[in-house]
Structure 1
């Protein structure tokens, strides 16, 4: 089975650090799970983008893109569901 590498954008890391400390390990675990299964059950494709998806973790959303040829996942945004879509522009 192929394993993807995870690359975090600097802005996604900054957003992650601003979140509630209790949810951070859960979000990091969910992102790490993407290395084995980049399209887990419940993931949704983002409109207007070819390889951008989102997964839910409670009240939070993780937006990421996949480069299948290079086996790379780019974590783009991590934020509360009420805020994440306002600033996202594919």
Structure 2
């Protein structure tokens, strides 16, 4: 990932996820073996996250290009 894409993703996170009351508004819930996980689309990149409602915490555990981020 180059610096431009990294800056774009960080800006998107700060604008859309930081301080939000509803982190699911911009994402999509995953299914099958990834139930409970959420994805966010930022251009060709995906942010994979787990949302904890009891403390309103968004744990981002993967950021990568869409063709590689879902792999093993």
TM-score category of the 2 structures, normalised to the smaller one: 0.7 to 0.9
1:57 and 2:42 equivalent? Answer: yes
Deviation, structure 1 residue 39: 1.3
Structure 1 residue ranges (4+ consecutive) displaced by more than 3 angstroms after TM superposition: none
Residue 29 of structure 2 is matched in structure 1 by 45
RMSD: 1.5
Q: Distance in 2 between matches of 1:67 and 1:59?
A: 26
So what's the TM-score if we normalise by structure 2?
A: 0.80
The structure carrying a bigger helix percent of its residues is: 1
Task: Return the match for 2:17 from 21, 31, 34.
Answer: 34
Q: Which runs of 5+ in 1 are unaligned?
A: 1-18
* Structure having greater relative contact order (Cα 8 Å, sep ≥ 6): 1
Residue 70 of structure 1 is matched in structure 2 by 55
Q: Distance in 2 between matches of 1:39 and 1:73?
A: 10
Aligned residues: 68
So what's the TM-score if we normalise by structure 1?
A: 0.66
